[in-house]
Amino acid sequence: MGRIVKYNVFVRKDPPSGPVTALRKGDEAPEWAEALLGDHVFQEAGENETPKRAARPLPTLPKKEEKKPEPTVAPELGAHVSKWRSFAAKIGIDVPKGTARDEIIEMVRDKNPDLIEEG
């Protein structure tokens, strides 16, 4: 009668190129495999079950910090029209194409006068 394997192992019947045989924990090893495996792979007489490893807690990932919305700061009054256009879009103003910078500033000022600081 073959000995009982206490670990999952792979063994070749004719090393190094023979077919691979998988022996699962609790399987009886064939005689040819006993000669190739060390004693540490087999259960001792009277040993009923392979001792189980203590469960390790899974690593925890740090929680993602929520991005805080950036404070709404208007560009300088002399900034390029493209900066004013993107700022207006950011605060929810639909600016028609071809609108001049000063007109965009007035649109922003009408919506929220506190956003524009007079310099």
* pLDDT tens digits, 5-35: 888 888 888 777 778 889 888 888 888 888 8
Answer whether residue 13 is part of any domain. Answer: yes
Element (H, E) at 9: strand 9-12
Answer whether residue 98 is part of any domain. Answer: yes
Kindly give the confidence (pLDDT) of every residue in the chain, 119 residues in length, as a single tens digit, with 9 standing for 90 and above. 678 888 888 888 877 777 888 988 888 888 888 888 888 888 887 666 544 454 566 677 777 777 766 667 888 888 999 999 999 998 889 999 999 999 999 999 888 888 777 65
Answer whether residue 54 is part of any domain. Answer: no
The total number of structural domains that make up the chain: 2
What's the CA angle centered on 83, arms 81 and 85, to 5 degrees?
A: 65
Give the per-residue pLDDT at 40. 87
Give the per-residue pLDDT at 57. 64
- Coil, strand or helix at 104: helix
- Coil, strand or helix at 21: strand
Answer whether residue 52 is part of any domain. Answer: no
For residue 26, give the nearest of 45, 13, 42, 38 by alpha carbon: 42
Answer whether residue 76 is part of any domain. Answer: no
Answer whether residue 66 is part of any domain. Answer: no
List the structure tokens of 59.
């690593």
Please give the residue range of the domain that contains residue 99: 81-114
| DSSP-assigned states of every residue in 24-88 | -TTPBPPHHHHTTS-GGGBPPTT--SPPPPPPPPPPPPPPPPPPPPPP--PPPTTS-HHHHHHHH
Answer whether residue 63 is part of any domain. Answer: no
